[in-house]
Each structure stands twice: as C-alpha cells, then as structure tokens.
Amino acid sequence: MIEQPKTGIALALDDWRALINDDWRGLTIALYMVLVGYGVLVGIPVISTAWVTKLGFTEVEVGRVAGMDLGGLSAGAIVAAWVINRMNRRLIVFIGIFLAALANGLCLKYVDYDTVLWLRFLAGFGSGMYTAVAMAVFGTSIRPALAYNLMLFSFAFSQALEMRILPQLSMNGIYWVFIVCFLLTLPFLGWIKSYPKPRTQDTESMTTNKNNSSKPLLAWVCLFAIFLTYINIGAYWTYIELAALDSNTNPELVSEVLVWASLCSLLGCLIATLLSNRFGLLRPLLIALFTMATGVGMLAFGINEPKFLMSVFTFNLLWIFTDVYQMGSLANFDHGGNYAAYLPAAQGLGQIVGQILLHPY
C-alpha cells in the first residue's frame, strides 16, 4: 500500500512538530531575544515621540538619535555574524546584554543630546550582537521559514504591547524596560547552543547540489532587497506619530491606531502565509510592495484622520507581508543560517538610510 503524501493541515502540523522537536529550548529563547532585540526598531514611533516630549529633542535630533541606535544594531549584527561560527554564542549574547544594559543604564543619568547620541549607538551595538545570534538560531533550525513566520506572528503582540505601555512611562521607565528585558535572558543562556550544531548527513545531502554555488549570491540579493524595503519602513515608521501630531490629529486616536494597527500584523502574517502557499513568493510580494508604497504616498498631500487610519493599517498589514516573503526567500537560499545573522544589519541600515533621506543631517 502506497502512503499518500501529506498536504494542507496535516503537512503544516508535521512541520510544526519537526520544528519544536528539533530544539524547543533554543527556539523559545531565540524568539524572546528577537522580540527584545528589535524592541527599539518596532517601537520607534513612541520612543521618538518620547525623545521629543520628555527630553526636548528636535525632530532632526530624534532622527539622528534613532539612526545611531539602529546604526549600532547594524554594526553589532555584522560583528556577530563575522564571529558567530568561531566564537561561543553564549559569550556573544552575554557581551551584547552587557553593552545594551550598560548603555541604557547610562541613559538614565545622561540626558543631553550629544551624550545620548553615542549611548544609543552603544545600546544598539549590544542589541545587534544579541539579536544576530537569535536570528542565526532561527536560520539553523530544521524549518527556518516556519521559524521566521513564528517570529513575525509574535511581533504583532510585542509591537502592540510596546505601543500600549511605553507611552505611559517616563523616559527612564522606557530605559528600565529595556534593561530588565535584556537581563532576563541571563538565566536561560544555557538554552543557546555554544556552537552551531553539526549538520546531519540528510541535511548535507540536501544542501549540496549543482546550484549550491549560486546560493550565497541569492542570499545576498535577499538581504539587499530587505535593506531596500526597510528604507521605506525607516522613513515612515520613525516619524509617523510625530507627523500625525504635527498635523493636529487627535493624540488619543493616534495612540489607539498604532496599537490596533500593530495587531493588524497578525492578519497580515496569516494572509501572507496562505497566499505564499498558493501563489508562491514573487507575485504576492510585488503586489504588497506596490500597495505599501501607495499607502505611504497618500500622506504626501497632507495628513488627516481618515488618511492616517488607512495609511497606518495598510502599512502594518503589508510590512509583515514583505517580511514573510523576503525571509521565506532567504530561508530557501541559506540552509546553514550563515546569512540569517545579517538580517538585523540589513533592516537597521535600511531604516537609517530612510531617516537620512527624510531628514538629511
């Protein structure tokens, strides 16, 4: 009797079972780490507003401070990616935690612009090292595309939580949240494998084929595409709350919309996964990018409440769309997870360029 191949829900359940059984401890701590490590990137609208309202920075100064934070994220991720296969990963994470906690702690005391500028770079650098290891764990999992989807699905909750909680806190309160979240990783460092797990014979045979030589190039192309996408995200997401408030949009409406639009990412992740299973990655990605650009472009002629609502909800829905497709593509070309550690670098660098284009230094 010939066993029929599994499809649909049965196949999806098998994939989830394989992912969890592979290394559930490593996957769990990596998921927590990416949510913490990307905390500034996804929470930048409310953090930028806090820098303006609580520290008195100008919008141009906010762009520079945010750029230094995300620049540090990129630099830290690049350094971690260079050494991640030769250096104990637990040590990399520990160094990242130390730098991020130290810099955020010093921000409690120093509030002048020049000092904060460099402290945010240091905080971002530590966060980049920390996050790169987590992304590498996802990249080396048995089902990397599924692991990325789990991460993106979880982002909707963490982003909504940041949008709800951070505006209620003082600037020092925001820094304390980041410090505590980083330090909470320390008891679970043992869940991270010190070095990459050895490749099984099946995995080696699967990844060694005639197209193997082209895969590094394709992985770099995926990372470059992610960089380009995050230029748009950086320009929009850093300043959207400030721009809405400057246009006399109701502050309570702005706050609520950012929370609910973040949860809208859940729907985006689900729809993107279903569409990719049916139509592949390319066509839905192109449509998502075009629609995302339209949602951003509608604000070029002025911001009012209906436009703000439509733009933010469209942006959050399709932000996850593009991440699902681009990270899924990277997973297809990066079987060993060697390039996954560069993801925070591509995203952070793209956001910096977006901020520079919007507010040149």
Length of the chain: 361
CATH of the domain at 122: 1.20.1250.20
Is residue 1, in this structure, part of any structural domain at all? Answer: no
At 238 the pLDDT is 72
Is residue 202, in this structure, part of any structural domain at all? Answer: no
Residue of 131, 163, 330, 153 whose CA lies nearest to 237:
163
Is residue 205, in this structure, part of any structural domain at all? Answer: no
Say if residues 98 and 40 touch (Cβ distance below 8 Å).
no
CA distance 331 to 151: 14
CA distance 293 to 250: 25
Is residue 108, in this structure, part of any structural domain at all? Answer: yes
Is residue 12, in this structure, part of any structural domain at all? Answer: no
At 101 the pLDDT is 97
CA distance 112 to 253: 31
Amino acid at 205: S
At 282 the pLDDT is 66
Could you tell me the mean pLDDT of each successive run of 10 residues in the chain, 361 residues long?
A: 53 65 85 93 86 88 88 94 91 97 95 94 96 90 78 82 88 95 95 72 44 67 89 79 79 80 72 68 71 75 80 79 79 77 90 75 48
Record the tokens describing residue 331, joined without a space: 């997973």
Is residue 123, in this structure, part of any structural domain at all? Answer: yes
DSSP state of 143: S
Supply the range of the domain harboring residue 82. 17-195+213-358
Say if residues 49 and 167 touch (Cβ distance below 8 Å).
yes
HSE, CB side, 13 Å, CA atoms: give it for residue 199. 14
Number of domains present in the structure of the chain: 1
Q: What angle do CA 17, 20, 24 make, to 5 degrees?
A: 165
Is residue 354, in this structure, part of any structural domain at all? Answer: yes
CA distance 41 to 348: 8
83 CB-contact burial (10 Å; exposed 0-12 / middle 13-18 / buried 19+) = middle
CA distance 290 to 229: 11
Residue of 336, 319, 333 whose CA lies nearest to 152:
319
Record the tokens describing residue 204, joined without a space: 């080696």
Q: What angle do CA 275, 280, 282 make, to 5 degrees?
A: 105
Is residue 207, in this structure, part of any structural domain at all? Answer: no
Verdict on whether the full-model pTM lies above 0.85: no
Give one DSSP letter per residue of 62-83, joined into a string.
HHHHHHHHHHHHHHHHHHHHHH
CA distance 161 to 148: 20
